[in-house]
Structure 1
Amino acid sequence: MRKFDLCVIGAGPSGYAAAMRAVDFKKKVLLVEKDKLGGAGIHHGALTSKTWWELSREAYTISQLSNTLNLSPPKHNFEKLKNEVRLAANERMSLLEHHMYNINVSANEELFTYMQGEAKLISENIVSIHNDSDSEEIQADYIILATGSRPRKLPHIPIDEEIILTSDGIDRLTEFPKSMVILGAGVIGCEFATIFSNFSQTKVHLIDKGDRILPFEDEDVVKVIEHNLEAKNVLIHRNSQLIEMKVVNNKVQYILEYTDGSKEVFVVDKALISVGRIPNYENLFDDSIQIEMDNRGIKDTLTQTSLPNIFAVGDITADIALVNVGELEGRYAVERIFGTPTKPLIYENISTIMFLAPEVAGVGLNETKAQELGIDYKIVSMDYGCISRAIAMRNTQGFIKILVSNDDEMKILGMRVIGEHASSAIEAVALLISMDKGIEELTELIHPHPSIIEGIQECVRMLTNKSILKPSVLRNTMKCGCFSNKEYKDIKF
Structure 2
Amino acid sequence: MERYDLAIIGGGPAGHAAAMRALDLGMRVILIERDRIGGTGIYNGALASKTLWEMAMRVSATNELMRNRGREPLKLEWDEVNKALQEAMFERKYLYSCHMQLLAEQRDEHGHARFTYERGEAVTIAPHVVEIRRLNGDRHIEAAHIIVATGSRPRITAELPFDGTNVLTSDQIFDLEAPPASIVIVGAGVIGCEFATIFSNLGRTRVHIIDRADRILPFEDPDVSELVAREMERRGVIIHRNAKLERLTVNPDADEQDRVAYELSYPDGRRETLTVSKALLSIGRVANTDRLGLELAGVALDDRRQPILIGTATSQAHIHIVGDATGTNMLVNLGELEGRHAVEVLAGLRTDQPSYANMSTIMFLDPEVAGVGLNEQECQARGIPYRMARIDYSCLARAIAMRRTRGFFKVLVSDDEDMRVIGMRAVGEHASSAIQAVALMIRQGTPVRELAELLHPHPSITEGVQECARMLTGTSIFKPEVLGDKLRCTRWAPAVKAA
Post-superposition CA distance 1:378-400 (Å, at most 9, x none): 11111112212112212111110
DSSP-derived class of the 2:145 partner: strand
Aligned AA (2:432)? S
Aligned to 1:14: 14
Q: From the superposition, tell whether residues 223 and 413 of structure 1 become closer, same or farther in structure 2 (CA, over 3 Å).
A: same
Aligned to 1:84: 84
Contact 1:278/1:296 (8 A) holds in 2: no
Contact 2:103/2:115 (8 A) holds in 1: yes
Aligned to 2:147: 144
- In 2, the alpha carbon distance for the partners of 1:332 and 1:101 equals 24
- Cα distance, 1:302 vs. partner? 2.8
Deviates more, 1:476-485 or 1:42-51: 476-485
- Cα distance, 1:286 vs. partner? 5.5
Work out which of the residue numbers 224, 227, 234 in structure 1 matches 2:227: 224
Contact 1:298/1:318 (8 A) holds in 2: no
Q: Confirm whether residue 277 of structure 1 aligns to residue 285 of structure 2.
A: yes
TM-score between the two structures when normalised by the length of structure 1: 0.95
Aligned to 2:366: 357
- Cα distance, 1:210 vs. partner? 1.1
Runs of 5+ unmatched residues, structure 1: 488-493
Q: From the superposition, tell whether residues 146 and 437 of structure 1 become closer, same or farther in structure 2 (CA, over 3 Å).
A: same
- Cα distance, 1:92 vs. partner? 0.2
Deviates more, 1:391-400 or 1:264-273: 391-400
Work out which of the residue numbers 392, 405, 418 in structure 2 matches 1:396: 405
Aligned residue runs from structure 1 range 44-443, under 5 A: 44-105=44-105, 110-248=113-251, 249=253, 251-285=259-293, 287-294=295-302, 295=304, 297-341=306-350, 345-443=354-452
Post-superposition CA distance 1:47-77 (Å, at most 9, x none): 0000000010111122112213322222221
Contact 1:353/1:362 (8 A) holds in 2: yes
- In 2, the alpha carbon distance for the partners of 1:358 and 1:146 equals 32
Deviates more, 1:254-263 or 1:2-11: 254-263
Q: Confirm whether residue 466 of structure 1 aligns to residue 469 of structure 2.
A: no
Q: From the superposition, tell whether residues 296 and 127 of structure 1 become closer, same or farther in structure 2 (CA, over 3 Å).
A: closer
Q: Confirm whether residue 2 of structure 1 aligns to residue 2 of structure 2.
A: yes
- In 2, the alpha carbon distance for the partners of 1:107 and 1:461 equals 56
- In 2, the alpha carbon distance for the partners of 1:347 and 1:142 equals 24
DSSP-derived class of the 1:361 partner: strand
Aligned AA (1:284)? L
- In 2, the alpha carbon distance for the partners of 1:433 and 1:58 equals 33
- Cα distance, 1:284 vs. partner? 0.2
Contact 2:323/2:331 (8 A) holds in 1: yes
- Cα distance, 1:296 vs. partner? 9.6
Q: From the superposition, tell whether residues 486 and 82 of structure 1 become closer, same or farther in structure 2 (CA, over 3 Å).
A: farther
Post-superposition CA distance 1:382-427 (Å, at most 9, x none): 1112212112212111110011111112121110000000000000
Aligned AA (1:467)? S
Contact 2:127/2:296 (8 A) holds in 1: no
- Cα distance, 1:194 vs. partner? 0.4
Deviates more, 1:215-224 or 1:63-72: 63-72
- Cα distance, 1:341 vs. partner? 4.3
Aligned AA (1:164)? V
- In 2, the alpha carbon distance for the partners of 1:274 and 1:423 equals 24
- In 1, the alpha carbon distance for the partners of 2:107 and 2:2 equals 21
Aligned AA (1:212)? R
- Cα distance, 1:108 vs. partner? 6.7
Q: Confirm whether residue 41 of structure 1 aligns to residue 38 of structure 2.
A: no
Contact 2:399/2:461 (8 A) holds in 1: yes
DSSP-derived class of the 1:298 partner: coil
- Cα distance, 1:134 vs. partner? 1.4
- Cα distance, 1:439 vs. partner? 1.2
Q: From the superposition, tell whether residues 220 and 287 of structure 1 become closer, same or farther in structure 2 (CA, over 3 Å).
A: closer
Aligned AA (2:169)? T
Post-superposition CA distance 1:351-396 (Å, at most 9, x none): 1000001000000111122222222211111111221211221211
Contact 1:296/1:318 (8 A) holds in 2: no
DSSP-derived class of the 2:477 partner: coil
- In 2, the alpha carbon distance for the partners of 1:293 and 1:225 equals 40
DSSP-derived class of the 1:228 partner: helix
- In 2, the alpha carbon distance for the partners of 1:429 and 1:155 equals 44
TM-score between the two structures when normalised by the length of structure 2: 0.94
Post-superposition CA distance 1:157-189 (Å, at most 9, x none): 111111000000112211111110000000000
Aligned AA (2:20)? M
- In 1, the alpha carbon distance for the partners of 2:168 and 2:104 equals 41
Deviates more, 1:73-82 or 1:223-232: 73-82
Q: From the superposition, tell whether residues 289 and 339 of structure 1 become closer, same or farther in structure 2 (CA, over 3 Å).
A: closer
- In 2, the alpha carbon distance for the partners of 1:318 and 1:165 equals 21
Over aligned residues, Cα RMSD in angstroms?
Answer: 1.7
Aligned AA (2:326)? T
Q: From the superposition, tell whether residues 433 and 387 of structure 1 become closer, same or farther in structure 2 (CA, over 3 Å).
A: same
Post-superposition CA distance 1:426-450 (Å, at most 9, x none): 0011111112222132121112221
DSSP-derived class of the 1:122 partner: strand
DSSP-derived class of the 1:348 partner: coil
Contact 2:206/2:237 (8 A) holds in 1: yes
Contact 1:152/1:276 (8 A) holds in 2: yes
DSSP-derived class of the 2:126 partner: coil
Deviates more, 1:350-359 or 1:439-448: 439-448
- Cα distance, 1:104 vs. partner? 4.5
